[in-house]
Structure 1
Amino acid sequence: MNNSGQGIKEEIKYNSADQFVARQQLEVPDLQDYYQIIEVLLDGKPIEDFKGTTIIDLFNYYNVLD
């Protein structure tokens, strides 16, 4: 994940997609919606059909799957 276009790269891990969605629904989410995504892995493998570029894209991807 690239933090706010400032060239700062961070990595964050969740135990599941459900945990990611739940953490993003908090009043103060773990990640800002506009953060750019570099790579998303699930069980160590890239998610082939995810085409988004930001945290909100990933949230919407997983939230629709539920």
Structure 2
Amino acid sequence: MNNRTKLHDGIVGMIYLLSIILATTVNLQWLYLAGAVAILQIMSMFTGFCPVYYTLDKLMDQTKSGAPKTK
């Protein structure tokens, strides 16, 4: 598992956890955030587009992330 995949899983997991914490302490409507992330994950399976991976590609040097360098 490369660094980019680990970062993706960590970011998505933190969003889910933050959503649950905010829903229990602030307002139940924070669960919509978890729902939106879940919908994006399901859609990315069919479309191949993931906003987190897109952002990580822009921020990280791909040679360090273990991903092949493409043009």
TM-score by length of 2: 0.25
Structure in which a larger fraction of residues adopt helix: 2
Structure in which a larger fraction of residues adopt strand: 1
Q: Whose RCO is larger (CA < 8 A, sep 6+)?
A: 2
Q: Which structure has the larger Rg?
A: 2
